[in-house]
Every structure is written in C-alpha cells, then in structure tokens.
Amino acid sequence: MKIMVEHQPEDSRLNALAVTSWPIWEKEVSEFPWHYDEQEICYLLEGEVEVTPDGGEVASFGAGDLVTFPAGMDCYWKITKAVRKHYRFG
C-alpha cells in the first residue's frame, strides 16, 4: 500500500476539495502505530512527519502538503515537529 503525497498543491486543488471545511487534528512530537479502516486525506497546516507503511517505503511530508492514506493500511507514524492538519475520512 502506498501513501500519496502532493507537495504544495495549487489553491484550486484545495478549494475543489473544500479542505478548509474539514475538521482539524493536532498532535505533539511523538511516535505510534496506526491502522486506517478507511481512506484519509489530510492537508498539513503545520508540522513534519514520517510515516512508514508495513512493508513499504517511508513517506515524508510537512506543512503545505496534501496526503492520502489508503484504506486498510497499517503504518508507523513519527512526528518530528508538532502537527496541525485538516483531515477527511472516506
């Protein structure tokens, strides 16, 4: 399973997704395992993260990036700079 990272997407892309209407999630510097029951799309307002899917390659992203995590993925999050992001499941 692969994490899709769109570095610094155009405002038109963010507006089409209505990103600013999504809820916000915040998390301090930390590390933890995670499982995605359904797809998540998120847009980072602040922070830096490395996410490693089980058996996959590390995805690094940060503020200004739009990231899509596939449903069914198990992974390990490493937050290196506190995160604040908009997110949407489904």
- Per-residue pLDDT of 5-60, as tens digits, reads 999 999 999 999 999 999 999 999 999 999 999 999 999 999 999 999 999 999 99
Number of Cβ within a 10 Å radius of residue 10 = 10
Burial of 69 (0-12, 13-18, 19+ CB in 10 A): buried
Confidence of residue 1 (pLDDT cuts 50, 70, 90): confident
Lookup: tokens for 41: 């799309």
Q: Which pTM value belongs to this model?
A: 0.96
pLDDT of res. 57: 94
Query: Which phi and psi angles does 41 have, rounded to 5°?
Result: -115, 135
Which pLDDT score is estimated for 40? Answer: 98
Would you list the domain boundaries of the chain? 4-89
Q: Which pLDDT score, from 0 to 100, does residue 52 have?
A: 98
- Amino acid 12: pLDDT: 98
- What are the CA-CA distances from residue 79 to residues 4, 18, 35, 49 (Å)? 17, 25, 16, 5
At the top level of CATH, the class of 4-89 is: mainly beta
Residue 25: what pLDDT? 98
For residue 88, which of 34, 32, 30, 23 has the smallest C-alpha distance?
Answer: 23
